[in-house]
Chain A
């Protein structure tokens, strides 16, 4: 595809369940970012990958959140023991290089924990 693709677009899960959110970056983009956006707020940085490695995971709120990018392309954000406070839109962005100027965002996955 031409842009960053995120699946699913919507996810409803019960409190305590495990969820995985997928991001397909633009082909050839080495940098990948995950953000979380709550209603009425700006996106909040979670984690950054350069290639396969998590170069900066300082934004992950706690150890229930984890992300991988095993082959340097697709990334999966994993949330264990979901809580209602995890409800938000999870955005993925990719960039051909480290600078943020060319970061392209996907449409996000809206996660609702009930």
Chain B
């Protein structure tokens, strides 16, 4: 069935380096995507979103890129900090007021000192 998934389960980067987390999706009807950060024992926390009419969106230290041709989404985190260590999920919704989000499995980002 159609689903959202991630390429790498674990990503380890040095503190201060940039990190890139990837996500592949297969639902061609998806028109809205969100990245969430989840720390241990906590609920997901919204980071950044992007709609399908855009290919790039920037926030504070984070950038989301969307490539609809290959159905690929990425999250770039600049100058990683220890507090960035968490599991990152991409999620999608078909839009049009659709209700539930479909989450991928997640990537565990580890920041090495």
Contact surface of A with B, Cβ cutoff 8 Å? 4, 33, 35, 40-46, 48, 55-56, 58-59, 91, 93, 98-108
Report whether B103 and A43 are in contact in the complex, using a CB–CB cutoff of 8 Å.
Answer: yes
Residue of A41, A46, A56, A100 near B105 (CB, 8 A) is A41
Measured in the bound complex, the distance between the Cα atoms of B43 and A5 in whole Å is 11
Q: Are A91 and B44 in contact, with the CB atoms below 8 A?
A: yes
Of the candidates B41, B46, B91, B102, the one whose C-beta lies within 8 Å of that of A107 is B41
**Nearest-CB residue, chain A, relative to B45:** A105
Could you mark each residue 40-62 of chain B with 1 if its beta carbon is under 8 Å from any beta carbon of chain A, else 0? 01111110010000000000000
Contacts of B113 on A, CB cut-off 8 Å? none
Residues on B close to A: CB < 8 A? 4, 32, 34, 41-46, 49, 89, 91, 93, 97, 99-106
Whether B99 contacts A93 by the Cβ 8 Å rule is: no
A4 and B43 in contact, given A100-B34, A101-B49 (Cβ under 8 angstroms):
yes
Q: Residues of A contacting B42 with CB < 8 Å?
A: 107-108
Q: Which of chain B's residues have a CB closer than 8 A to the CB of A91?
A: 43-44
Decide if B100 touches A101 in the complex (CB within 8 Å): no
7 tightest A-B CB contacts, nearest first: A45-B100, A42-B103, A105-B43, A48-B99, A56-B99, A42-B89, A105-B44
A106 to B45, CA, bound (A): 9
Known: A100-B32, A100-B93. Contact between A43 and B44, CB under 8 A?
yes
Q: List 26 A-B contacts (CB under 8 A).
A: A4-B43, A33-B100, A35-B100, A35-B101, A40-B105, A41-B105, A41-B106, A42-B104, A42-B106, A43-B44, A43-B89, A43-B103, A44-B103, A45-B99, A45-B100, A55-B99, A58-B100, A91-B44, A100-B32, A100-B93, A101-B32, A101-B34, A103-B46, A103-B101, A105-B44, A107-B42
